[in-house]
Structure 1
Amino acid sequence: MLYRPFIVFTAGYLLLRVTGKKAVSQMHSFDLLYIFVLTNIISTPVEDSKMGKALTYAVIIVIFYKILIRLSLHNKLRWILYERPTVLIRNGDIDRKGLKKVRMPMNELLSHLRVKGFTDTQNIAMATMEETGSISVIPKSEYRPVQPNDLNLRIQKEYVPIPLIMDGQIIYHNLKYLQLEQSWLMNEVGKTGNNVENILLATYSENGKLFIDDNELQNHKNDPYYYEPGKDN
């Protein structure tokens, strides 16, 4: 009762790790079919005693899927394995044939555009449904966001703060990466009067300082910029 589900779950996890990220992100048709088939196969031993045969079939399915992925890298075969993108809007004009092909009603198209931050179809240079079913939107040049390059501005390289404490636990491999000692971290935390266990997030900033976000919310005394919906205000 206990070891069989554990073995099946572990085997399924390892097979998905071998498969790669692509199969569990935005899926193509055979990606989705692969997940369905693999799920059905690896769940069989929970109800049946033929665990060895089921796991063998699962490995074969993974190998077959990996072969299909490798074949899809060739341009000639890619157009057979994958569906082509479908144009939904071109130069501000809605493509009715494209909408009919993907069986998308107008209100759904407008919803996708709002999610992307666009409210007027006339401002769209091209909107397409990609192979994965996601909607990509390219605005007309006069409606796209202004880029620093448009204003001849030189922008500093983006720095990503490095987490050193998350959910009250020290991230030791990040300390090692930054060549920092735990004593330095504890000293910085002590300066703020906090304990590591109470810190939700602490990150290493570009200026070499530690930014700490603890679990406590400040009382903003009815500041309208901190309004929260509901009766708790």
Structure 2
Amino acid sequence: MEIVYHGIIIFISGYVLLRVTGKKAVSEMNTFDLLYIFVLTNIISSPLEEESVGKALIYAVLIVILYKIFIRLSLNNKLRWILYARPTVLIRNGDIDRKGLKKVRMPMNELLSNLRVKGYPDTQQIAMAAMEETGSISVIPKAEYRPIQPNDLNWKVKKEFLPIPLIMDGQIIYHNLKYLQLEQKWLMNEVEKRGKTAENIMLATFLEDGTLFIDDNVMINHHHDPHYYTPGKDEK
């Protein structure tokens, strides 16, 4: 029973400490996921130092069970608000919430940097920005600054078509050929028409019009065209 108590105490203590540290430290993972990976990794590696394989396995199984229990509990609407941190508002209707910034321990320049990455250089353009439980920042622009949608202009657009890969890194994706009811012979003929071989193709995709797009390993030399300048690279 001592092993069980220790495992529960470690899990709960780690969860509380991560919650106190703040969402920013979690960075794209929720608290439970981060704690689960951290604790499980340390438990699995402990036999290398202490030569206690049996005890480590018991701890690992216990942590997995606790993780599954917490995930199941998080499906309950009432318990979810207790187990997970709520979003923290950073900007509301163009006004920066300084209390929110202080709560998530984010300096102003970092907030502005995150907004620029999402394409909003001016805080006045934002209806609401919030830090989610995963540590990521979600931004909802004001109506006049959001991208124009086809529905705004009463445009009818065709259904989006997802190009289907048939060759990746020189390997044929046979199950996609089967899904499209295409033969390998057709694919090879299309490849040979372009003077290519499957082994030299990085990506070949089946397009909506029934044609094949091919991206091979050859980089086009643009002969110092300023439009293709690569920062930080010495060109000769």
Deviation at 1:48, TM superposition (A): 4.1
Which residue type is aligned with residue 231 of structure 1? D
In the superposition, relative to structure 1, how do residues 45 and 177 fare at CA in structure 2: closer, same or farther (>3 Å)? farther
Aligned counterpart, 1:73: 75
Counterparts of 1:161-176 in structure 2, within 5 Å, are 161-176=163-178
1:184 corresponds, among 173, 183, 186, to: 186
Deviation at 1:45, TM superposition (A): 2.8
Aligned counterpart, 1:231: 234
2:62 corresponds, among 60, 63, 75, to: 60
Deviation digits for residues 53-79 of structure 1, max 9, x if unmatched?
A: 322321221111011011011111111
Deviation at 1:208, TM superposition (A): 1.1
Which structure has more relative contact order (CA 8 Å, sep 6+)? It is: 2
Which residue type is aligned with residue 217 of structure 2? N
Counterparts of 1:126-137 in structure 2, within 5 Å, are 126-137=128-139
Structure 2 length normalisation: TM-score? Answer: 0.83
1:183 and 1:52 mapped to 2: Cα distance? 55
Counterparts of 1:19-38 in structure 2, within 5 Å, are 26-38=28-40
Percent identity, please: 76
Aligned counterpart, 2:13: none
Which residue type is aligned with residue 51 of structure 1? V
Matched, 1:122 2:140: no
Matched, 1:215 2:212: no
2:34 and 2:150 mapped to 1: Cα distance? 40
Structure 1 length normalisation: TM-score? Answer: 0.84
Question: For 1:88, what is the secondary structure of its paired residue?
Answer: strand
1:50 corresponds, among 28, 49, 52, to: 52
| 2:88–2:100 contact (8 Å) kept in structure 1 | yes
Deviation digits for residues 8-61 of structure 1, max 9, x if unmatched?
A: xxxxxxxxxxxxxxxx99322232111111001111233343323322321221
Q: Which moved more, 1:83-92 or 1:43-52?
A: 43-52
Deviation at 1:80, TM superposition (A): 0.9
User: Aligned Cα RMSD in Å?
Assistant: 1.8
2:91 and 2:28 mapped to 1: Cα distance? 22
Aligned residues: 210
Deviation at 1:215, TM superposition (A): 0.9
Aligned counterpart, 2:207: 205
Which residue type is aligned with residue 146 of structure 2? R
Which residue type is aligned with residue 234 of structure 2? K
Aligned counterpart, 1:193: 195
Counterparts of 1:66-145 in structure 2, within 5 Å, are 66-145=68-147
Question: For 1:35, what is the secondary structure of its paired residue?
Answer: helix
Deviation at 1:200, TM superposition (A): 1.0
2:105 and 2:27 mapped to 1: Cα distance? 23
Structure 2 unmatched runs, 5+: 1-25
1:82 and 1:39 mapped to 2: Cα distance? 22
